[in-house]
Structure 1
Amino acid sequence: MARSEPDRVHNEITTKTASQVTQIGVVHGGQHIHLTVGAPADPLVAAAEDLARAVRAQWRAEEERLRISVPFPLPVRWRRADEVPADHWATIRCLPAGAAAEPLALDGGLDKVVEVYQRVPSGRLVVLGKPGSGKTILTLRFVLDLLAERTGAEAVPVIFSLAAWDPTAITLESWLVSRLRNDYPVLAAGRSAAVELVRDRRVLPVLDGFDEIAHGLHATALAELNATAMPLLLTGRTEQYVAAVANARVLSAAAVVELADLTPADLTDYLSRIARADGGWAAVLHELHDSPRSAAGTELAAVLSTPLMVAMARGVYSDVPGKDPAELLDRGRFGSRAAIETYLIGAFTTAAYQRPPEPGHRRWDPELAERWLGYLAWHLNRLGKPDLQWWQLGGSLRRWIRVLVVGLVSGLATGLMVAVVDTLGSGSVRGLANGLLQGLLTGTAFSVVHWGVLWLAPGALEPARVRMRLRGAAGLPRVQLCRRVRWALVLGLLFGVASACVRQIQTALVLGTFEPFGVLIVDAIVYVPLYGLAAAATALVTAWLETPLDTKAALSPTSLLRTSREHETIRLLVVVPVFLLVMGFGTGALVALIRAPAAEFGIGVLWNLPFALAVGTSTGLSAAFGYVLSATAWGQWLALSRVWLPLTGRLPWSLPAFLADARQRGVLRQAGSAYQFRHARCQDHLAHAYQARRQEVPLGGEVDRA
Structure 2
Amino acid sequence: MTDQLGPLLRQLRNQAGLTQEAVAERSGVSVRTIRRLESATNIDHRLGTLNLLADALELGPADRELLATMLARAGTPAVAMTQAAPAAPGPTGSASEPPRSPSDRAPVSAPPAAVLAAADALAREARRRWQREEERRQVHDPFPLPLRWRSAPAPLMDYAVNIQRLPPGATAQLDLGGELHSVAEVYRRIRSGRLVILGRAGSGKSILLIRLVLDFLATLSLPDRVPLIFNIGTWDATTTTLREWLIGQLLRDHPHLARRTPDGPTLAAALVDADLILPVLDGFDEIAEGLRRDALEALNATSLPLVLTSRRDEYADAVRGVGAPLNWAAGIELVDLTLDDLRAYLPRTARPAGRDETVAGWEPVLEQLRTRQSPAGGVLTKVLTTPLMVALARTMYSEAPGRDPAELLDSVRFPSVESIEKHLLAGFVSAVYRPWVPERNAGGSRSRNGNWNPQRAGHWLGFLAHQLMRPNQPRRDLAWWQLGDSLRRSTRIAAVTVASALCIAGATWTIGLVTAQADRGQVLLEGAMMGLSAGLAFGTVYAAIIAFGGTFQPAHVRLRLRRGRSGRVRPPARAFTLRFAVVLLGGFVMGVGCACAIAVVRARYWDIPLTSPEAIRAALINMLVFGLIFGLAVGLVFGLLAALEVPVDVSFAATPVHLLSANRTTVGQQVLILAPALALTIAFGGRLVVNLLQGPLGPLSWELPDALIIGAAGGLGSALSYAFCFTAWGQWVILCRVWLPLTGRLPWNTIAFLEHAYHRGVLRQSGAVYQFRHFRLQEHINHSYRER
Above 0.5 in TM-score? yes
Q: Please tell me the residue identity of whatever aligns with 1:442.
A: A
Q: SS of 1:216's equivalent?
A: helix
Indicate whether 1:565 and 2:664 are aligned: yes
1:453 shift after superposition: 1.4
Q: For 2:497, which of 400, 407, 419 is the aligned residue?
A: 407
After TM superposition, the structure 1 stretch with the greater mean CA deviation from structure 2, 517-526 or 315-324, is 517-526
1:152 corresponds in structure 2 to 222
Stretch of structure 1 that moved more, 218-227 or 479-488: 479-488
AA partner of residue 380 (structure 1): L
Output the CA distance in 2 between the equivalents of 1:124 and 1:547.
34
Secondary structure in structure 2 of the residue aligned to 1:152:
coil
Unpaired stretches in structure 1, ≥5 consecutive residues: 1-12, 27-33, 694-706
| The one of 264, 269, 285 aligned to 2:366 | 285
Matched residue type, 1:242: A
Note closer, same or farther for the CA distance 1:395–1:106 as it changes in structure 2 (3 Å cut). same
The alignment partner of 1:79 has SS state of: strand
User: Given the alignment of the two structures, is residue 85 of structure 1 paired with residue 156 of structure 2, yes or no?
Assistant: yes
| Residues 559 and 15 (structure 1), Cα distance of their counterparts in 2 relative to 1, 3 Å cut | closer
How many matched pairs? 663
Deviation, 1:533, is 4.3
Question: For residues 349-402 of structure 1, what are the alpha-carbon distances to aligned partners after superposition, in whole Å with 9 as ceiling and x for unaligned?
Answer: 111100526534421111111111111111111373111111111222221222
Q: Select which of 97, 110, 113 maps to 2:180.
A: 110
**Residues 1:444 and 2:532 aligned together:** no
Indicate conservation of the 8 Å contact 1:374/1:690, yes or no: yes
Indicate the residue corresponding to 2:488 in structure 1.
Answer: 398
Give the aligned partner of residue 25 of structure 2: none
Give 1:585 shift. Answer: 3.5
- Taking the aligned partners of 1:473 and 1:439, their CA distance within structure 2 comes to 41
Cα deviation for residue 196 of structure 1 reads 3.0
The residue identity in structure 1 corresponding to 2:506 is L
Letter of the aligned partner of 1:582 in structure 2?
Answer: T
Residue 58 of structure 1 and its aligned partner are, at CA, apart by 2.0
Relative to total residues, which structure has the larger strand share, 1 or 2?
1
With over 3 angstroms needed to count, the CA separation of the structure-2 counterparts of 1:14 and 1:473, relative to structure 1, is: closer
Equivalent position SS for 1:108 = coil
Letter in 2 for 1:351: A
User: Which residue of structure 2 aligns with residue 5 of structure 1?
Assistant: none
Percent identity over paired residues: 41
Q: Please say which of residues 426-435 and 610-619 is displaced more in the overlay.
A: 426-435
Q: Deviations over 1:188-216 (max 9, x none)?
A: 22233322322332111111111111122
Whose relative contact order is higher, 1 or 2, with alpha carbons under 8 Å and at least 6 apart? 1
1:303-314 aligned within 5 A:
303-314=383-394
- Corresponding residue to 1:465 among 539, 545, 556: 556
Q: CA–CA distance in 1 between the matches of 2:388 and 2:43?
A: 57
Change (3 A) 1:445 1:271: same
Distance 1:156 1:468, change over 3 A: same
Corresponding position of 1:100 = 171
Residue 257 of structure 2: aligned partner: 187
Deviation at 1:593, TM superposition (A): 6.1
Question: One-letter code of the match for 2:469?
Answer: N
User: Among residues 506, 520, 531, which one is paired with 1:428 in the alignment?
Assistant: 520
Could you report, residue by residue, the CA deviation over 1:95-137 in whole angstroms, capped at 9, with x for unpaired residues?
A: 11122223x1111101000000011111111111111000000
Match of 1:369 among 440, 457, 461: 457
Q: 1:256 to 1:456 in 2, by over 3 A?
A: same
Which residue does 1:133 correspond to in 2? 203
When normalised by structure 1's length, the TM-score is: 0.88
Note the C-alpha offset of 1:346.
0.7
**Structure 2 residue aligned with 1:378:** 466
Of 156-165 and 416-425, the range deviating more from structure 2: 416-425
Q: Which residue of 2 aligns with 1:698?
A: none
User: What is the Cα deviation at residue 468 of structure 1?
Assistant: 5.7
SS of 2:571 mapped into structure 1: helix
Mapped pair 1:266 → 2:333: no
Counterparts of 1:414-563 in structure 2, within 5 Å, are: 414-425=504-515, 426-459=518-551, 461-467=552-558, 479-480=570-571, 482-512=573-603, 513=610, 515-518=615-618, 520-521=620-621, 524-525=624-625, 528=628, 531-533=631-633, 535-537=635-637, 540=640, 544=644, 547-548=647-648, 550-551=650-651, 553-563=652-662
Cα displacement (A) at 1:540:
3.9
SS of structure 2 residue aligned to 1:363 = coil
Tell whether the 8 Å contact from 2:149 to 2:334 is kept in structure 1 after alignment: yes
Aligned to 2:54: none
Indicate whether 1:204 and 2:304 are aligned. Answer: no
**Structure 2 length-normalised TM:** 0.79
Q: Partners in 2 of 1:51 and 1:394 — Cα distance?
A: 31
Matching residue's letter, 1:656: I
Aligned to 1:653: 748
C-alpha displacement of 1:641: 1.0
> 1:67 aligns to what SS in structure 2?
coil
Residue pairs, 1:66-85, within 5 angstroms? 66-82=137-153, 84-85=155-156
Q: What are the superposed Cα offsets for residues 582-606 of structure 1, whole Å, 9 maximum, x if unpaired?
A: 22334345546655x36xx6x4433
Q: Secondary structure at the match of 2:368?
A: helix
Is the 8 Å Cα contact of residues 237 and 298 (structure 2) preserved in structure 1?
yes
Is contact 1:320–1:355 with CA below 8 Å preserved after alignment?
A: no
Instruction: Tell me which residue corresponds to 1:701.
Output: none
1:29: which partner in 2? none
Structure 1 contact 534–578 (Cα < 8 Å) conserved: no
In structure 2, the CA distance between the partners of 1:418 and 1:319, relative to structure 1 (3 Å rule), is farther
Q: Secondary structure at the match of 1:394?
A: helix
What does residue 298 of structure 1 align with?
378
1:204 aligned partner, one-letter code: L
Please tell me whether the aligned partners of residues 542 and 574 of structure 1 are also in contact (alpha carbons under 8 angstroms). Answer: no
- Letter of the aligned partner of 1:311 in structure 2? A
Once the two structures are TM-superposed, the CA of residue 55 in structure 1 deviates from its matched residue by 1.7
Aligned 8 A contact 1:475 1:543 in 2:
no
* Structure 1 residue 142: Cα displacement: 0.6
Q: Which letter does structure 1 place at the counterpart of 2:730?
A: G
Alignment deviations for residues 235-275 of structure 1 (CA, whole Å, 9 cap, x no partner): 11111111221121211111111101111211223212210
Counterpart of 1:690, as a letter, is: Y
* C-alpha distance in structure 1 between counterparts of 2:684 and 2:152, whole Å: 77
Provide the residue aligned with 1:165 in structure 2.
235
What is the alpha-carbon distance in structure 2 between the residues aligned to residue 165 and residue 630 of structure 1?
Answer: 29
CA contact (8 A) 1:162 1:209 kept: yes
CA contact (8 A) 1:526 1:591 kept: no
How far off is 1:407 after superposition? 1.4
Q: In 2 relative to 1, CA 14–250 (structure 1 residues): closer, same or farther, beyond 3 Å?
A: closer
Aligned to 2:479: 389
Question: Could you list the per-position Cα deviations for residues 399-426 of structure 1 after superposition, in whole angstroms to 9, with x for gaps in the alignment?
Answer: 1222122212222233223223223333
Partner in structure 2 of residue 222 of structure 1: 296
User: Are 1:579 and 1:620, in contact at CA under 8 Å, matched by a contact in 2?
Assistant: yes
* Aligned AA (1:395): D
176-185 or 618-627, which moves further after superposition? 618-627
Aligned to 1:669: 764
Query: Quick one: structure 1 residues 218 and 538, their matched pair in 2 at CA, closer, same or farther if it must change by over 3 Å?
Result: closer
Aligned pairs for 1:587-602 within 5 A = 587-588=686-687, 590-591=689-690, 595=694, 597=695
Provide closer, same or farther for how the CA distance between residues 363 and 477 of structure 1 changes in structure 2, counting only shifts above 3 A: farther
> Which amino acid in 1 is paired with 2:524?
L
User: Is the alpha carbon distance of 1:563 and 1:516 closer, same or farther for their aligned partners in structure 2, counting shifts above 3 Å?
Assistant: farther
Name the structure 2 match of 1:7.
Answer: none
Offset at residue 40 of structure 1 (A) = 10
CA deviation map 1:426-485 (0-9, x unaligned): 3422211221222122112211111111122524x1112234689999996562175444
Deviation, 1:329, is: 0.8
Secondary structure at the counterpart of residue 458 of structure 1: coil
- SS for the counterpart of 1:480 is coil
**SS of aligned partner of 1:585:** helix
Correspondences of 1:579-658 after superposition (within 5 Å)? 579-588=678-687, 590-591=689-690, 595=694, 597=695, 603-658=698-753
